[in-house]
Structure 1
């Protein structure tokens, strides 16, 4: 059976041959293979090379297309997909008071499910086959379960990172932080015992946003389950909130299992501690540049030998299209390299970072950051068949002189023609196959209206940021930091 370049209907458990594409494996040992095939059996890549045996296989004709690993987003608040673009003119403080304290309490469980479904499908549409879901709208156990269901319905590979954040006492059913921890363990037991596309993680509450003992308990709960950890780090200038890296380091609590997000306000001591720990880094350039976080510190990653990764972060501001972050990020990273040369009155001899290097930020490097490097991130035989076909007749794909330059600078979601997750086609001929898109978008519009209606009924104005917002938070944060410093002194 042969279909068009994006007309496959193969599923996990079958045999599929992606034939005659320009294959960018992102595996240094395999390299780039123009005019090659990718053989998929039982959801795994079993061979990559020219003229592979197609006996009994469904054929996806990839002629004229780039074939590469699916993109990987290392930090996305997927539930906020129902609030798309509401934060276009908001600062970080506006986001905190408007989304986290204003809108989150108005979400019902099915809103979280629908938000994760919409967000997961949106990610797949642009070729993101794996994401880290920083899930912090778990207002009740029903919200937690609904968040997992939404990702499952989307059919995306994801690290579901359970967040313990309290949006407001009236919106939650958790009396204590211990109740939160118990719900996390319930979710782990209920949803993460039998494999599948989802893996378990923990989204730490912002450090110094709650008592230090609670932070330590969250770390312990994650590690008890060998779960991935993710943390908003060093992103509030002039505040200790979202700090804590040196204290964690002093207590031996850092490690390679933590993805540190943003890191824009880190100093030398924090970067040195992070590098020693083997920790991972995720930048969201659109968020950081637009909400006042500062400049994504690609240069600090480079100087410390840390591979950066990329994220779409908040769809309440950003596009869910990771190609945007890739372009923004590479532009920032190259400009940081050029700046000292420019300031000396000269021009750089080269750009310093190649397009292939940048693509690795959201493929192989991102897979390693999520602890999934043995499953995805490259088209290596033995890995899961998460891959995309980019190209077709779109004018922005022709002529294609350099494949990596085309991907980084010329590609959008519309150019992603085929998407496979675990060997199953979820987008074909440029059309998503995992859902009725008209029905889903109508449901999303209705749900957004209901959520914002509840916000209005509660008498809340958006974003509702009080004057001197950070100054008001700082005494509490410094008090929690003092607890951490006492723990360090007593060690």
Structure 2
């Protein structure tokens, strides 16, 4: 818990309404919770922090990131999806020791915090042993952010035959749910990252989903990833009664419209990763198609072994691609678009409150409202990219970047202050990262750094 803090004079973007901005305004925090938002709030004995001219916004929420891969960041930047499956899951993943999982998860989580991501669903699918799982949870805890540890199995489930007949590691899930995650009250809570019928047999999928229901754990599942999504995975799951409002469907690119409608009708949420989806061949991001059917998506970085880890870029990609898609339809019809369909405020909400909703945390975080946790990001407002300040929401979406993130609070505690993460030894982290990378890369014949390694996608069929 923390004491009282009063942020004074900021440009407060709440994300509680579609484009609510209070300018200037104060935010009062008491014991980690927002207790008042308004002008000229009495400070009492609170610590006063002058944020005049700066943007005060909810922390960003990522709904799907394979954080363990941070020690091999950018190794997959020129790979397709099948090359990624070969290089990471058939290849490198089996050589990760628990200490490598810890290093990757810690570095990746701190990268997220540094870029203003206060809540992260860690889609942790390299848990070869219970020690790997404990190492991942330890890293999320040590990083100090709000996280959902989504248990995703390990090389046994991902590195062999697809669709895999190997079930999710049930004993490890039960161990964690009965122990470290016996309740849902900590900064780090638990979910399940399941393969679904694209990557596991339908019988295995049914058993995995039943485990989640029995243990009352939310599910995140990949669907509609390029050619893997052509098997009608939503129809298969619907036929077995597996769809529900406790499921977040990741990607959705190649799902048919009637499958997206089933997601909407059963209360499901969606997570899109436009940067990775377009790079790796998943298909066009499903943003507009989801919106057409009443599903407001959340955003994710996804594969941090491929792209950068900040969500400002992801917001811009999501917005640009959907606007281009909408505009091209008008141009093809010989018409001039009268106005844009998707606004900056829409995309900012995808990255905040919709992300919190997809993570099952919208009552806790995702917007600046009285009674919610003080998960707050403060952006510099006096940069050459933002002066003069004319449209704070658009400045976040179109101009902001990690270097503008001056302060970050999680549950009212400063984890980044004046542009630097609090209590983080970068030299130590660099040593962890390089030692882990060197071990993993040297363990696989043919793997190398420098950008020249191109895994053979035909090995998926071997």
TM-score range, shorter chain: over 0.9
Query: Aligned pair in 2 of structure 1 residues 168, 464: CA closer, same or farther (>3 Å)?
Result: farther
Q: Secondary structure at the match of 1:395?
A: coil
Query: Aligned pair in 2 of structure 1 residues 24, 169: CA closer, same or farther (>3 Å)?
Result: closer
- Structure 1: gaps of 5 or more residues: 1-11, 474-491
Tell me, yes or no, if the aligned pair for 1:154 and 1:434 is still in contact at 8 Å.
Answer: no
Q: Secondary structure at the match of 2:444?
A: helix
Which of 384-393 and 132-141 deviates more?
384-393
2:79 aligned with 1:93: no
- Structure 2: gaps of 5 or more residues: none
Q: Secondary structure at the match of 1:398?
A: coil
Take 2:96 and 2:151, find their aligned partners in 1: how far apart are those partners?
Answer: 16
Query: Aligned pair in 2 of structure 1 residues 179, 270: CA closer, same or farther (>3 Å)?
Result: closer
Alignment-derived partner of residue 137 in structure 2: 148
Tell me, yes or no, if the aligned pair for 1:222 and 1:228 is still in contact at 8 Å.
Answer: yes
Q: How does 1:454-473 map to 2 (within 5 A)?
A: 454-456=443-445, 463-467=454-458, 469=460, 472=461
Alignment-derived partner of residue 207 in structure 2: 217
Alignment-derived partner of residue 59 in structure 1: 48
Alignment-derived partner of residue 242 in structure 2: 253
Per the TM alignment, residue 376 of structure 1 is displaced from its structure 2 partner at its CA by 0.3
Q: How does 1:237-316 map to 2 (within 5 A)?
A: 237=227, 240=230, 243-316=232-305
Query: Aligned pair in 2 of structure 1 residues 398, 29: CA closer, same or farther (>3 Å)?
Result: closer
Q: How does 1:407-422 map to 2 (within 5 A)?
A: 407-422=396-411
Take 1:179 and 1:252, find their aligned partners in 2: how far apart are those partners?
Answer: 19
Q: Give TM-score, length-normalised by structure 2.
A: 0.93
Q: Give TM-score, length-normalised by structure 1.
A: 0.88
Which of 193-202 and 66-75 deviates more?
193-202
Take 1:445 and 1:258, find their aligned partners in 2: how far apart are those partners?
Answer: 36
Q: Decide which of 318, 325, 332 is 1:329's aligned counterpart.
A: 318
Alignment-derived partner of residue 166 in structure 1: 155
Q: Decide which of 343, 347, 358 is 1:369's aligned counterpart.
A: 358
> Deviations 1:27-57 (Å, cap 9, x if unpaired)?
1299321111111111111111111111111
Take 1:457 and 1:403, find their aligned partners in 2: how far apart are those partners?
Answer: 48
Q: Decide which of 75, 97, 119 is 2:108's aligned counterpart.
A: 119
Per the TM alignment, residue 190 of structure 1 is displaced from its structure 2 partner at its CA by 2.1
Alignment-derived partner of residue 8 in structure 2: 19
2:335 aligned with 1:346: yes
Take 2:445 and 2:425, find their aligned partners in 1: how far apart are those partners?
Answer: 31
Take 1:114 and 1:273, find their aligned partners in 2: how far apart are those partners?
Answer: 39
Tell me, yes or no, if the aligned pair for 1:204 and 1:231 is still in contact at 8 Å.
Answer: yes
Query: Aligned pair in 2 of structure 1 residues 395, 239: CA closer, same or farther (>3 Å)?
Result: closer
Take 1:416 and 1:29, find their aligned partners in 2: how far apart are those partners?
Answer: 22
Per the TM alignment, residue 179 of structure 1 is displaced from its structure 2 partner at its CA by 7.8
